[in-house]
Amino acid sequence: MTTPRQRYRRGPLAAAFGGLAAATLAVTLAVPAAAAGSTLQAAAAESGRYFGTAIAASRLNDGTYTTIANREFNMITAENEMKMDAMQPSRGQFNWSSGDRIVNWARQNGKQVRGHALAWHSQQPGWMQNMSGSQLRTAMLDHVTQVASYYRGKIYAWDVVNEAFADGSSGARRDSNLQRTGNDWIEAAFRAARAADPGAKLCYNDYNTDNWQHAKTQAVYNMVKDFKARGVPIDCVGFQAHFNSGNPVPSNYHTTLQNFADLGVDVQITELDIEGSGSSQAQQYQGVVQACLSVARCTGITVWGVRDTDSWRASGTPLLFDGSGNKKAAYTSVLNQLNQGGTSVPNPGNPTPTPTQPGTTPTPTPTQNPGTGSCTATYSEGQKWNDRFNGTVTIRANTAISGWSSTVTVRQPQRIIATWNGSPTWDSSGNVMTMRPSGSGALAAGQTVSFGFTVQHNGDWTWPTLTCSAS
């Protein structure tokens, strides 16, 4: 295992060629490549991005499922459990249990959560479906406030409003009971969400908005532009990215993502799946990843499920793992493309002001910690962003050892949000991560291995403290 190094970033190459077309180009890096990430989350973290999946609470006791989900992904979306009907089945009576199962599983495993979704025309509880006018508007805003408040501080980004525009060439809003409460229902929902959880990024999320030429894409773009101009609190736009042969990955995907980002919002691929198989599916996945990597404010990618058999459209085999949990060609192409690197995510506009900035870093804790037993753990700093930093721990065997484990303790309010080159477990506080080797931990005397992680610092730049113990 080699030490992950600071990756040299490839410029916005795809900008010159456009989305999918660029996916087929052979890219030669003029600089040494860093150690390749061996999981999707590790490879994405090298450029400051996350890689996520939708999780169904009902599958959390399936060991194959949770093993893959835990290993590969560091951003979790509840596939159905945080929708309006699940959260508030009867008016004023909230049921947090399945949402909590997913949020707790994610946090216990050091992962972040995308909240999905606060306000949507679909999957409304029966009582809400029958409402209209100001009564419905009040009920919707109350729902947004209650749910966002309950999960306050635990959500990376909320899909505040989902799928509010019509398909086809009209460029109009979708007709729905919510739309009929008045055209300002979307901005009202965003304002309520901001008030309830000021630390979460607030996203508008939709499908069929990938092709820059489509009327729906233009309509959403114009809404976001208007929101930014008028100070409506919006931080991000989610592109669901459900593709199939009738709706393939557009060649102008990069243009779409870049144009939205240029409005001053983050963009995220939020529900990616692509029906198909083999190299054609793999190539389309590669195109999506490359489009995101070429846009600095494309902060992460979420696929809509783990294995093909977990998918809402399982017959289309649209995901990265087959029904047995094997990696598909699409998985390999995504991993390889992530490892090609891309624009580094800059300061992704965390809506919470960052109290301290790099440069005013407090005195670091010691760089070296005497190993208990016969190994030593040494910390070295990696890349820094406004809201997070990367670190590397190098394990050195002082004598020949057959295995090791290393604890990394961060201080509240810091959180470790991504790891690579090891198998982490967490204590109940979430502050102490114990990293063990993914494979054999045997090391000869003097030999070293490294693992890495990303800390969301929430204003505290203190270095983590380390221990190492050998067996």
Residues of this chain that bind ligand 9MR (CB under 6 A)? 79-80, 122-123, 207, 240, 271, 312
Task: Order across the sheet with 375-384: list the strands.
Answer: 368-369, 375-384, 388-397, 448-456, 415-420
Residue (79 or 187) nearer to ligand 9MR, CB: 79
Of the CA atoms within 13 Å of residue 26, those in its CB half-sphere come to 1
**CB of 165 closer than 8 Å to CB of 219:** yes
Q: Give CA angle at 382 (381, 385), nearest 5°.
A: 115
Nearest approach, Cβ of 314 to ligand 9MR (angstroms)? 11
- Residues marked active site are found at 271
Nearest approach, Cβ of 36 to ligand 9MR (angstroms)? 31
Nearest approach, Cβ of 54 to ligand 9MR (angstroms)? 7
Nearest approach, Cβ of 267 to ligand 9MR (angstroms)? 16
Residue (234 or 241) nearer to ligand 9MR, CB: 241
Query: Beta-carbon neighbour count of residue 210 at 10 Å?
Result: 26
The set of residues, in sequence order, having a beta carbon less than 8 Å from that of 122 and lying 6+ positions away, is: 162, 163
Residue (221 or 312) nearer to ligand 9MR, CB: 312
Residue (84 or 200) nearer to ligand 9MR, CB: 84
Nearest approach, Cβ of 426 to ligand 9MR (angstroms)? 28
Residue (72 or 271) nearer to ligand 9MR, CB: 271
